[in-house]
Structure 1
Amino acid sequence: MMINKNIFKTAMVLVTGLLMTATVAAKEMKIGYVDVQAVASQLPQATAMQKTIRSEFGSRMEAVEKLQKDIGFNIEKLRRDGPTMSQQQQDDLKETVNKQRQQYEQLAGPLQEDLRARQTEERNKLLGLIQSAIEEVAARDKYDLILNASAALYAKPEYDITSSVTSVASKK
């Protein structure tokens, strides 16, 4: 029984010592946080990225939108004017709508895939730029740890380096 009490006391002293050491070490660390989404939304490169994507896919997007409007118009026309149309006119309009839907599916699906792939590519470039800026700010200001703002449940505003990262990333 006596040995167990001594082992327990020794273990408690060790655990207490480790906790105190960890607390002291944590206080010596320089920690900051950055709101990556805020940085991305404020960068001029993000605006340029959107313009680039719009210019690359603009004509295809317009064609799909026009086709979508035409389909809507013809469906509304069939609903509105169908009772006064001949059976042949109704059949012709239904056939037109079906052809337009097929064409829409042929254009819209690949467009969405291409657009998604291109946006992912550009987003990854932007995130790489932000990561580089975070690393530069961390090295310059000697931070030991930088967290994403969404990972912190609470942090004092003086640990926020979002504006510094935005400034560095904007110049790249």
Structure 2
Amino acid sequence: MFKSAFSKTALLVAGVMMAGAVSAKEMKIGFVDVREVFSQLPQAAKLQETMKAEFGGKIAEVQKLEKDIAFNVEKFKRDGSTMSDEQKKKLQEDIGKQQQQYEQLARPLGEQIRARETEERNKLQALIKSAIDQIAAKDQYDLVLNAEAAVYAKPEYNISAAVVAQVSKAK
């Protein structure tokens, strides 16, 4: 009797394991390298151009101010020993004003740039997600993973190129 119950249990466990293996084999899984997709999109290059056009003038102003500060600091180091006390004081005041102006310009500009980049990246990520959803539905994928989540995957399961192609068509 013990042998009969054991063999029935073993058969049941083996059957469940085989059924699980069969259903896993039938599952269609793909993966996407989202970073690579993002880097290949023409919209990402256009984003960089847009950011340059939008903030280029302010960035140039901040960079000029950085150079002016660096020049004056170097001048103070180089010529400080030969300057009069009044000249040193004047140059230090100029450097202080420039640094204050730099902080007033650079910090808000950096925040504006980061906010704008985030806004535009979120739009692109939404397009990527939509493309993944459409490709997964059309090609009947049961599961699509981010490439970073997969330890190993065969290249034929990579749908990144299809995602790039679809998102590239979007405006």
Query: For residues 102 and 17 of structure 2, what CA distance do their matches in structure 1 show?
Result: 64
Q: Secondary structure at the match of 1:78?
A: helix
Structure 1 residue 53: deviation in Å? 1.1
| Matches of 2:168 and 2:146, distance apart in 1 | 19
Pairs aligned (count): 170
2:38 maps to: 40
* Counterpart position of 1:101: 99
Distance 1:106 1:15 in 2: 70
Per the alignment, residue 136 of structure 2 pairs with: 138
Say which SS state the counterpart of residue 143 (structure 1) adopts: coil
Structure 1 residues 94 and 8: alpha-carbon distance in aligned structure 2, compared to 1, 3 A threshold: farther
The DSSP-based 3-state class of the residue aligned with 2:126 is helix
Relative to structure 1, the CA distance from residue 109 to residue 5 in structure 2 (aligned partners, 3 Å threshold; closer, same or farther) is farther
Letter in 1 for 2:115: A
* 1:72 and 2:70 aligned: yes
Which amino acid in structure 1 is aligned with residue 122 of structure 2? N
- Give the counterpart letter for 1:108 in structure 2: A
> Cα offset for 1:14?
4.7
Alignment of 1:88-167 (within 5 A): 88-167=86-165
What amino acid does structure 2 have at the position aligned with 1:127? Q
Q: TM-score, normalization: structure 2?
A: 0.91
Structure 1 position 13, deviation (Å): 5.1
With over 3 angstroms needed to count, the CA separation of the structure-2 counterparts of 1:156 and 1:93, relative to structure 1, is same
Q: Distance in 1 between matches of 2:64 and 2:152?
A: 48
Task: Write the letter of the residue equivalent to 1:139.
Answer: A
Q: C-alpha separation between the residues in 1 aligned to 2:86 and 2:3?
A: 98
* Residue of structure 1 equivalent to 2:60: 62
- Gaps spanning 5+ residues in structure 2: where? none
Distance 1:24 1:102, change over 3 A: same
Residues 10/67 of structure 1: CA separation in 2 closer, same or farther (3 Å cut): farther
For 1:5 and 1:69, the matched residues in 2 are separated by 87
- Long gaps (5+) in structure 1: none
